[in-house]
């Protein structure tokens, strides 16, 4: 299973690198807009293929007809109650027909969100900016061994290691140096583990966590190869600042933008693709 996750991460990361490449010099809203458009169309197509379109159309037409009846017979309480009961039952039937397609669509939507999170959740460190780098070990006893960060032109270490045995962690404050992508080398005994550090530039793929903590974590953080389970080091984390995605002067989280835009594009094109939603 872990091998399949690695292959999936490599393929999807490469695919999304190609998709966002034309927008590298633009504000992050533009690649998000494009990915949301593609996702909305793809999700709409999947919904049309896996749902019972005839049943959904019949139910929607019946609901529309009964809603008109509610307006026409609003003075007749008996008829009004029967119509409302029928609308409620049809609404539940509609939800039943939509449930399976929605569950199927969860998988591709989650994979898209993971790739968007890699690029638009956090930003690279600015030169001269400080942050915290944390290392988590599999066993707190490993913290008694010598642990250090190798020097690099990409950063300077400003504090000695701070050990937190209860959390199985050790942390340093580091200051970013020149712009570029660097490999931070963590030494624990005879082990050497690398963690990518991104400094300078605009939005790009930034992985805050390199982990070997399990399939779920490795799937959620696809930017770097998973750590081997045989290592004493379980994960290395860099606390990057959040990336601000600005729309008309307002900062909006990328996840909100993705959901709103992809749903809007899906509804906008349902007539073009002939899909009942």
Q: Are β-strands 233-238 and 209-211 bridged in parallel, bridged antiparallel, or unpaired?
A: antiparallel
Note whether 140 and 45 are same-domain residues: no
**Model confidence pLDDT, tens digit, residues 163-199:** 999 999 999 999 999 999 999 999 998 899 999 999 9
Note whether 153 and 82 are same-domain residues: no
Are the CB atoms for 114 and 139 separated by under 8 Å? no
Length of the chain (residues)? 277
Report the pLDDT averaged over residues 139-152: 87
Note whether 91 and 41 are same-domain residues: yes
Note whether 216 and 113 are same-domain residues: no
Note whether 27 and 59 are same-domain residues: yes
Q: pTM of the entire structure?
A: 0.87
Residues of the chain with pLDDT > 70, as a percent, come to 99
Distance from C-alpha of 267 to C-alpha of 248, rounded to nearest angstrom: 23
Q: State the total domains in the chain.
A: 2
Note whether 18 and 108 are same-domain residues: yes
Distance from C-alpha of 102 to C-alpha of 165, rounded to nearest angstrom: 44
Q: Is residue 90 part of a domain?
A: yes
Residues with Cβ within 8 Å of 227's Cβ and at least 6 positions away in sequence, in order, are: 193, 210, 211, 212, 233, 234, 235, 236
Distance from C-alpha of 196 to C-alpha of 227, rounded to nearest angstrom: 13
Note whether 195 and 220 are same-domain residues: yes
Note whether 108 and 178 are same-domain residues: no
Note whether 31 and 104 are same-domain residues: yes
Q: Is residue 244 part of a domain?
A: no
Distance from C-alpha of 184 to C-alpha of 170, rounded to nearest angstrom: 15
Note whether 108 and 149 are same-domain residues: no
| pLDDT above 90 for 233 | yes
Q: How far is CA 236 from CA 84, 145, 149, in A?
A: 57, 17, 12
Q: Is residue 245 part of a domain?
A: no
What is the structure's pLDDT at 1? 52
Report the pLDDT averaged over residues 222-243: 91
Q: Is residue 259 part of a domain?
A: yes
**Model confidence pLDDT, tens digit, residues 48-67:** 999 989 888 899 888 888 88
Domain limits for position 173? 130-238
Q: Is residue 68 part of a domain?
A: yes
Note whether 202 and 177 are same-domain residues: yes
Q: Is residue 113 part of a domain?
A: yes
Report the pLDDT averaged over residues 239-245: 95
Note whether 50 and 141 are same-domain residues: no
Residues with Cβ within 8 Å of 136's Cβ and at least 6 positions away in sequence, in order, are: 167, 168, 169, 233, 234, 235, 236, 237
Q: Is residue 40 part of a domain?
A: yes
Q: Is residue 243 part of a domain?
A: no
What is the structure's pLDDT at 213? 66
| pLDDT above 90 for 258 | yes
């Amino acid at each position: 299973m872990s091998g399949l996750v690695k292959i999936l991460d490599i393929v999807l990361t490469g695919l999304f690198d190609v998709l966002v490449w034309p927008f590298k010099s633009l504000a992050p809203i533009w690649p998000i807009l494009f990915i949301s458009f593609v996702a909305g169309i793809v999700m709409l197509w999947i919904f049309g293929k896996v749902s019972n379109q005839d049943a959904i159309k019949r139910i929607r037409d019946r609901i529309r007809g009964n809603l008109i009846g509610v307006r026409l017979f609003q003075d007749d309480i008996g008829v009004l109650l029967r119509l409302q009961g029928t609308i409620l039952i049809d609404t539940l039937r509609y939800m039943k027909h939509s449930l399976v397609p929605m569950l199927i669509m969860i998988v591709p939507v989650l994979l898209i969100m993971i790739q968007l999170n890699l690029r638009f959740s956090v930003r690279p460190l600015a030169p001269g900016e400080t942050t915290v780098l944390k290392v988590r070990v599999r066993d707190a006893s490993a913290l008694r061994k010598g642990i250090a960060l190798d020097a690099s032109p990409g950063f300077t270490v400003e504090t000695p290691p701070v050990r937190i045995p209860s959390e199985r962690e050790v942390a340093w404050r580091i200051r970013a140096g020149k712009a570029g992508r660097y490999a931070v080398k963590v030494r624990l005994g005879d082990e050497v583990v690398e963690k990518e550090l991104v400094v300078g530039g605009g939005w790009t793929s930034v992985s805050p966590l390199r982990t070997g903590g399990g399939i779920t974590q490795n799937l959620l953080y696809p930017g770097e190869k998973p750590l081997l389970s045989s290592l004493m080091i379980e994960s290395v984390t860099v606390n990057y600042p959040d990336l601000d995605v600005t729309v008309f002067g307002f900062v909006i989280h990328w996840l909100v933008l993705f959901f709103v835009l992809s749903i809007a594009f899906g509804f906008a094109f349902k007539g073009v693709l002939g899909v009942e939603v």
